[in-house]
Amino acid sequence: MTLIVIQKGFASSVQDLGRCGYQRYGMIVGGAMDQPSAKLANWLTGNHESAAVIEFSFLGPSILFTEDTLFALTGAVCRPTLDGNSIGTGRPCLARAGQILVIGGMVYGSRGYLSVAGGVDTPLWFGSRSTYEKAGRGGFEGRLLKEHDRVPVGKPSEEMSRVMAGLAGSKRQTVRWSALPRRKYQETQTIRVMPDTLWPRFSAASREAFLKTEYQITPSSDRMGFRLNGAELMLDNPLELYSEAVTNGSIQVPRNGQPIILMTDHQSTGGYPRIAQVASADLPLLAQLPPGSTLRFQMISSEQGEAALVRQEEELEQLHRCIRVGIVKQITGFSD
Amino acid sequence: MVIEPFGDQAVRVIFGDRIAPEIQMKINQFTERFDRSPFKGFIEYVPAYTNVVFYYNPTEVRRNGKNDHLSAQRQVIDYLNQLGEQINNEPDRAAKRRVVHIPVCYGGDFGPDLNEVAHVHHLTPREVIEKHTQPQYLVYMLGFAPGFPFLGGLPEELATPRRANPRLKIAAGSVGIAGKQTGAYPLDSPGGWQIIGRTPVPLFRPESDPPTLLKAGDLVVFDAISEQEYLRIKGEQA
């Protein structure tokens, strides 16, 4: 079974939860920028959370289904249509063979996820299907999707086949409920950060500016990193640093004083001074902010960061349970 | 040994503050010991010149920990500290280092900056090659790109600043010098290194596990080869 890409959208690629365990060899982890949304998309189509999905940015792809397919869209808010009929996001939908899904532009947020029951079934490479563009491996032929690509899809579970059979009988081809993560988008987004070891080595004025002024995400931001524009950050004294491991959310400050937040496709090591680390719980939200968005940083401790992450995962797990209930009801005919 | 939090899903174990083979050896010893008894919720570690970062999943660590009142970070730090103490009680073992020979065709189209490097140091190109093929370089870490080695041991008299104008494309296999560093590019990439030669041997091996020729702790020797040999080896690789 395949999906045929009719329009590629912007930077559409196959992603899962990343390729862990090989950073010591200089490989990136990669994976979905907004991981809770990718997991959610998979749960809605009965997949394991680590199944591969299609991630798109700013402008979604258009997809032709070659067979009856159960799919779901999550992440950025958009106005998708199936053969011209508007369908919602955050819910399982049935596409009949020959139907075309048009995702279009994002109304709010930057990155969306398309999952299909059975998962995108490109070959595993080092335990992951995430696209590693620089290495030309992983995902769909190691590159972004383009028109006429035929993306392979796995076989849906028995349970999902029954959901599909049920939806095939309904006019709407979808369920009445939807499941979306709780997120608070604001005009100026507050992003929680934790101090890096070098925090005290930045000048008092820089530390104050970092926490009291706004930073804007510039257009030269991508899956590797978000380049920010705002008050210059300076060390008290220049430091000679050796390259060392960095991670998602590391905020590096090159010599021009403008911070860069490392995102999913960041290199495994870096040699710039780091001022702070973005709390892991705020990374999915950050990943959704388009260029031009303004940020304000709020300092928390790494213990608070961990607590926020654990809480977020618990909430997500609750959402997962609700989806399970919704799917079971769908099969047993209690709803819709 | 000092352990610092690195965000909320990683900690950094620091073994020193300078680039030295004995610090790299300690890091090797620590990670080898760790490999024999990783904790549940551990994801991966990444060694560098003076430290090694351990990544973990806080929810998993808490779920599997003996004391769920403690943060995952506290549990990981305690565990790694214990491991450090055990190693302190072990006698220093001489590192068993693998020596990897990397054939390099120096100069010509493969090494467009060889003459420039020679000129800067008042050496002949042949002398640069002799000096560059002399040492056993230590692989301190891999990073920047898959299989890119950070090597220590470049003779002082070859240290050369980066090019004023970085190249847009440096071919995979290019061997270069940047300041006191020397190394080889596993993939085509832009870069400012002084390129003195090229190896026909792939450093990035996407079909093998691990996917790289080198790993931290290896020793590297560059062997000068002719263009004919380069083409022959390249042919064998294809």
pLDDT tens per residue across span A47-101: 999 999 999 999 999 999 999 999 999 999 999 999 999 999 999 999 999 999 9
* B58 interaction partners in chain A (CB closer than 8 Å): 306, 309-310
CB A269 to CB B46 under 8 A? yes
Partner A contacted by B42 (CB < 8 A): no
Partner A contacted by B186 (CB < 8 A): yes
CB B7 to CB A243 under 8 A? no
Give the rounded percent of residues in chain B with a pLDDT score beyond 70.
98
CB A22 to CB B210 under 8 A? yes
Q: What is the pLDDT of residues A190-203, one digit of tens each?
A: 999 999 999 999 99
Q: Does B87 score more than 90 pLDDT?
A: no
The token pair that represents A213 in the structure block: 């002024």
CA atoms within 13 A on the CB side of A114: 31
The confidence band for A295, taking pLDDT boundaries of 50, 70 and 90, is very high
Mean pLDDT of chain B: 94
The answer to whether the beta carbons of residues B19 and A242 sit under 8 Å apart is yes
* B206 interaction partners in chain A (CB closer than 8 Å): 125, 135, 137
Residues 208-237 of B with CB under 8 A from A: 209-212, 215-216
Mean pLDDT of chain A: 95
Q: Does B84 score more than 80 pLDDT?
A: yes
CB A24 to CB B73 under 8 A? no
CA distance A206 to chain B (A): 20
Q: What is the pLDDT of residues A311-325, one digit of tens each?
A: 999 999 999 999 999
Q: What is the pLDDT of residues B49-75, one digit of tens each?
A: 999 999 999 999 999 887 778 999 999
Kind and range of the H or E run holding B101: strand B99-106
Boundaries of CATH 2.40.100.10 in chain A? Answer: 188-300
Q: Does B236 score more than 90 pLDDT?
A: no
CA distance A52 to chain B (A): 20
Q: What is the pLDDT of residues B103-115, one digit of tens each?
A: 999 999 999 999 9
Give the rounded percent of residues in chain B with a pLDDT score beyond 90.
85
Residues 4-33 of B with CB under 8 A from A: 4-10, 12, 19
Partner A contacted by B44 (CB < 8 A): yes
CATH of domain A188-300: 2.40.100.10
d(CA A14, CA A149): 12
The confidence band for A336, taking pLDDT boundaries of 50, 70 and 90, is very low
Instruction: Tell me what pLDDT residue B89 has.
Output: 79
Domains of chain B: 2-89 (3.30.1360.40), 99-237 (2.40.100.10)
- Arithmetic mean of pLDDT, B21-45: 95
* Beta bridge mates, B41: none
Instruction: Tell me what pLDDT residue A182 has.
Output: 76
d(CA A22, CA B145): 11
- Arithmetic mean of pLDDT, A221-233: 97
Give the rounded percent of residues in chain A with a pLDDT score beyond 70.
99
d(CA A48, CA B76): 28
- Arithmetic mean of pLDDT, A4-12: 97
Q: What is the pLDDT of residues B166-199, one digit of tens each?
A: 899 999 999 999 988 899 999 998 888 999 999 9
CB B5 to CB A126 under 8 A? no
**Between B19, B73, B215, which is nearest A306 by CB?**
B73
* A139 interaction partners in chain B (CB closer than 8 Å): none
Instruction: Tell me what pLDDT residue B92 has.
Output: 67
DSSP for A268-311, written as a single string: SEE-S-EEEEE-GGGHHHHHTPPTT-EEEEEE--HHHHHHHHHH
Instruction: Tell me what pLDDT residue A164 has.
Output: 93
Longest dimension (CA), chain A: 70
* A309 interaction partners in chain B (CB closer than 8 Å): 8-9, 58-59
